[in-house]
Chain A
Amino acid sequence: DTGVSQDPRHKITKRGQNVTFRCDPISEHNRLYWYRQTLGQGPEFLTYFQNEAQLEKSRLLSDRFSAERPKGSFSTLEIQRTEQGDSAMYLCASSLEDRRYTFGSGTRLTVV
């Protein structure tokens, strides 16, 4: 296993379009996290899963955002009706039940 994979690495979309990102965690990790990071800021927590159950969602996650983790394996993060303020790096991480996260390289979203 080579770590956490995120796809795509870059996405440019027009305002109002929907986008979907994928994250493949380390196979034996039961926890999966999504973060968003803008320039000069630390990553902001969005949501996390334990196996297939979504256990917590940040108030940052508006109704336009939805995340899934079917069968407790890969996860998808969908943003509907994108806005320019959604432009950011979207990071996925996975872990066992400790605080040693392994992050992917992220998906950079640009909304034009």
Chain B
Amino acid sequence: LAKTTQPISMDSYEGQEVNITCSHNNIATNDYITWYQQFPSQGPRFIIQGYKTKVTNEVASLFIPADRKSSTLSLPRVSLSDTAVYYCLVGEDDKIIFGKGTRLHILP
């Protein structure tokens, strides 16, 4: 499984765009990149998944450069309710392995 590295924590303000970058230097050809969000006392929630270039849904955008060695989750105009832990996951195995994630704290 490809190892991922992401910041331990980030702070931002309401209304700002937040970008969380994940490094995955040894990503394999068949690996997809998936992001999950977790609020306290809840299970993780799927946000977005991509393979290359850009993916956008109603929640976020995922930018993946051509070499796929990193990816950036972009959250537009965050609110206080976006305070959560965000996990970057890479792989194609039947199970997903979580790291420690990035604790995003949105300030008023």
Q: Which residues of A contact B (CB under 8 A)?
A: 4, 31, 33, 35, 40-45, 48, 50, 55-56, 89, 91-93, 99-106, 108
Contacts and interface: CB of A to CB of B under 8 A. Distances in A.
Contacts, number: 58
B95 A45 contact: yes
Interface centre among A35, A41, A43, A56 (most CB of B within 10 A): A43
Contact of A105 (B41, B49, B87): B41
Interface string B29-71: 0001010100001111110010000000000000000000000
B3 interface: no
Given A43-B98, A45-B95, A56-B95, A103 B49 contact: no
Contacts of B100: 40-42
B49 A100 contact: yes
Given A41-B100, A42-B87, A42-B101, A106 B42 contact: yes
A79 to B, nearest CB: 19
A7 B104 CA distance: 29
Contact of A106 (B43, B91, B95, B99): B43
Given A41-B100, A42-B100, A102 B46 contact: yes
A36 to B, nearest CB: 11
Contact of A99 (B43, B85, B89): B89
Contacts of B34: 99-100
A104 B94 contact: no
Contacts of B85: 42
A101 B100 CA distance: 18
B99 A42 contact: yes
A8 B57 CA distance: 33
